[in-house]
Chains A and B, each alone.
Chain A
Amino acid sequence: MSSHREAPAISKDPVADNTDVYAFVSPDDPSTVTIIANYLPLEAPFGGPNFFEFGPDVRYRINIDNDGNGDADITYEFAFQTQVANPNSFLYNTGPIDSIDSPNWNRKQFYSVTRISRGRREVLAANLPCPPCNVGVLSTPNYDTLAAQAVHSIGGGRTVFAGQRLEGFYVDLGSIFDLGNLRPFENLHIGSLAAAAGVNGTNDFSVHSIALKVPKQDLTRHGVNPTDPMSPGSVIGVWASASRQAAVVHDGYWSNEHQAGGWLQVSRLGNPLFNEVLVGMGFKDRWNALPPAADKQFLNGVQRPELASLLPVLYPGVFPNLANYKKPRADLVAILLTGIPAGIVPGFQNFTGNVQADMLRLNLAIPPASNPNALGILGGDLAGFPNGRRVFDDVVSVELRAIAGAMIPLVDKSFTPDGAASLLTDGLHQTSTRYLSQFPYLGTPQGGYQTAPLGAL
């Protein structure tokens, strides 16, 4: 998936597992940028009695590079604490939770937001309440009201939310991980099954989101509001991360765990699917510990992606041109590691320089689309992925098509993509899940009582 359980170590640590990152000019407030970092993959809505929550022992970060060197120039850090009202009760709630300060809610979370720039730490807000998880019709009878109470204005034109949201990333996990047997094209696959409709593997699962809306000036190098799409200063790099302290000792005394030492990064995410698809199994944990500035060492996986060599094998006769293309993939390097230079897509660039770093690159001078296309730039919509990423962007189809060679002609006119390259999809669309039209944009999580467990097809 985008980055759910994408590496061996972090798959065992869901509380710190950064699953998706979104960055886009807010469609309903275009003087601002919204950045969303998701954690805790595949939350089953009925997963009580200890429902999902952020880790008090984790430092969550949203990072901004505004000078193209792949290191953070601005960081927003989120630190959580948990308060248990009645430790003698085993219950998450002892009655209906009708407000986020309800005494019926036994296990509340609060957090602080700290902005770090040039070594200076500024606490923007503290003790901000999270909403509860959506337990069910009796426990959280008006969930949208609870969630709205957890949207906080924290001064300086900044707005923040941290809590459970409906998964916005849609993907047919079952088909992709079953030897790339994409359901719409199963009849062309070596497995020779009948073609079927795509199945959203994340349907009705939730995640925990940290959503931040800030004025554009909060992010740019010189504190300006960019208006020229072709100016290098209009582009920022965005990624999120999670860190844990160096040591954990289980000493069996009170809380069972004692943490100590400096904070070490254990998860990061910029472009969707980068670590998942382009980094080898033996290097994924290391990738998670490094900053984007170190990504040059993963260049080979981008220039020669394993999946591009597998597609012609899995789908015999469908990708002959891709099979014969032996050059390093400069198109993928541009999309994922440097940004797209000027002169390739008319009226657009999100180039950040020659430092190869996996970041979402957002051109802040591109206004929100009045009629968005979930295929983003591939669909002629300059406001979508890989110009940042909106919550509904169909990044699976875009990246499948890019891997299959659909964007090679942008950098190599001698190549003609196979006909199938522009058709690849996992059979899903943005209607496969639900979104909000306003902050925090990701949809209302499904209630536990209202959700049935997974069933067979």
Chain B
Amino acid sequence: MSDSTRRGFVKSSAAAAAGVTVVGALIADQADAHAAAASGPIVAYIREPRTGEISVMAGERQVKLHDRKIAARIARAAR
């Protein structure tokens, strides 16, 4: 993420079919108890679904989750 601008981030997410989604329930399926317990909206960003890498953002926190199944499910839902 260090070389990304926020605009590039948002633009690419809006343009790509695999884009951004607010997915509290979806993340909760797979994430650990700590993530599931987070309050407030959660944003998940998948830059490239094939890698299975999901950036999960809540408040100022941002962690990377590797899960090809979730990434693939979101990608299918986006198409």
Measured CB to CB, the residues of A under 8 A from B are: 9, 13, 244-249, 251, 258, 260-264, 266, 285-286, 288-290
Contacts and interface: CB of A to CB of B under 8 A. Distances in A.
A260 B5 contact: no
A185 B9 CA distance: 45
Given A246-B9, A249-B41, A251-B22, A261 B3 contact: no
A260 B57 contact: yes
A258 B55 contact: no
Contacts of A246: 1, 4, 6, 9, 45, 55, 57, 62
Given A246-B62, A261-B55, A289 B20 contact: no
Interface in B41-65: 41-43, 45, 55, 57-62
A60 B43 CA distance: 24
Chain B, interface SS category:
mixed
Contacts, number: 72
A263 B60 contact: yes
Chain A, interface SS category:
strand
B35 interface: no
B34 interface: no
A66 to B, nearest CB: 22
15 contacts: A244-B6, A245-B57, A247-B9, A248-B10, A258-B43, A260-B41, A261-B43, A262-B1, A263-B60, A264-B4, A264-B9, A266-B6, A286-B5, A289-B3, A289-B4
Contact of A261 (B5, B8, B22, B60): B60
Given A244-B6, A248-B10, A251-B22, 18 more contacts: A13-B7, A245-B6, A246-B4, A246-B9, A246-B62, A247-B6, A247-B9, A247-B45, A258-B43, A260-B41, A260-B43, A260-B58, A261-B55, A262-B1, A264-B1, A264-B9, A286-B5, A288-B5
Contacts of B1: 246, 262, 264
A246 B22 CA distance: 14
A395 B13 CA distance: 40
B7 A9 contact: yes
Interface string B1-31: 1011111111001000000101000000000
Interface of B: 1, 3-10, 13, 20, 22, 41-43, 45, 55, 57-62
Contacts of B20: 247, 249
Contact of A285 (B7, B22, B41, B58): B7
A364 to B, nearest CB: 31
Contacts of A289: 3-5
A251 B4 contact: no
The 9 residue pairs across chains A and B that have the minimum distance between CB atoms: A261-B57, A260-B57, A262-B62, A260-B43, A261-B62, A289-B5, A247-B43, A244-B6, A9-B7
B59 to A, nearest CB: 7
A79 to B, nearest CB: 11
B5 A9 contact: yes
B3 A247 contact: no
Contacts of A263: 60
Contacts of A288: 5
Contacts of A13: 7
A289 B9 CA distance: 12
A262 B59 CA distance: 8
Contacts of B4: 246, 264, 289
B54 to A, nearest CB: 12
Contacts of B8: 285
Contacts of B43: 247, 249, 258, 260-261
B50 to A, nearest CB: 21
Contacts of A290: 3
Nearest to B11: A9
Contacts of B41: 249, 251, 258, 260
Nearest to A294: B3
Nearest to B41: A258
B60 A245 contact: yes
A355 B55 CA distance: 33
Contacts of B9: 246-247, 264
A70 to B, nearest CB: 15
Contacts of B59: 260
A245 B9 CA distance: 10
Of listed B1, B43, B61, residue having the most chain A CB within 10 A: B43
Contacts of A266: 5-7
Contacts of B58: 260
Contacts of A286: 3, 5
